[in-house]
Amino acid sequence: MDVLNGASFQRLEGAIHAASMRQQVLANNIANVDVPYFKRSDVAFEEFLSQAMGQDGLKTLSGRRTDSRHIPIGASSPNAAAQVVTDETSVINNNQNNVDIDKEMSLMAENQLRYNLFIQQINHEVKMMRTGIEGRG
């Protein structure tokens, strides 16, 4: 039995990966706040996750393929991958840079809180499984 390969763990793993990637992207934005013509980037994950889970929160039926010869049923993959997207359309400074340092710092703080929440959730899930397996509280 693959206890840590469940859908909830895969989603948490994807969320942790996205938060880590977002931290790197935000740090890069902050480091380049004074660079002329630099365009800020962000990580798109939540939109892809909601699409992977089904529109309007409705879950779609999907089959599990244990062999590459099996016919796929429903959605091809329940996982969402994080992608870096660059905002080429906006301009904030006279030097064509679009990085707002205050916004980036607040996004970084929010991302750190989100990352901590994901780690706490993983720790809680593992603790609950360990308690169930060992049979003690």
Structural domain boundaries, residue 118: 1-60+100-137
85: part of which helix (H) or strand (E)? Answer: strand 83-86
34 within a domain of the structure (yes/no): yes
| Token pair 């800020």 in the structure block, residue | 40
85 within a domain of the structure (yes/no): no
125 within a domain of the structure (yes/no): yes
33 within a domain of the structure (yes/no): yes
Q: What is the pLDDT of residue 80?
A: 63
Q: Cα–Cα distances in Å, from 43 out to 22, 62, 135?
A: 5, 27, 41
47 within a domain of the structure (yes/no): yes
Q: What is the pLDDT of residue 65?
A: 74
93 within a domain of the structure (yes/no): no
Q: Cα–Cα distances in Å, from 26 out to 39, 77, 78, 131?
A: 12, 28, 27, 38
45 within a domain of the structure (yes/no): yes
Rounded distance between C-alpha atoms, residue 80 and residue 92, angstroms: 31
pLDDT in tens, the chain (137 residues): 455 677 778 888 888 999 999 999 999 999 999 999 999 999 887 776 676 666 555 555 567 777 777 776 665 445 567 888 888 888 887 888 999 999 999 999 999 999 999 999 999 988 988 888 888 75
Rounded distance between C-alpha atoms, residue 81 and residue 43, angstroms: 10
Q: What is the pLDDT of residue 135?
A: 80
Rounded distance between C-alpha atoms, residue 108 and residue 40, angstroms: 13
38 within a domain of the structure (yes/no): yes
As for how many domains the chain has, the answer is 1
> For residue 87, which of 27, 43, 132, 21 has the smallest C-alpha distance?
43
For residue 42, give the 3-state DSSP assignment. Answer: strand
Q: What is the pLDDT of residue 12?
A: 87
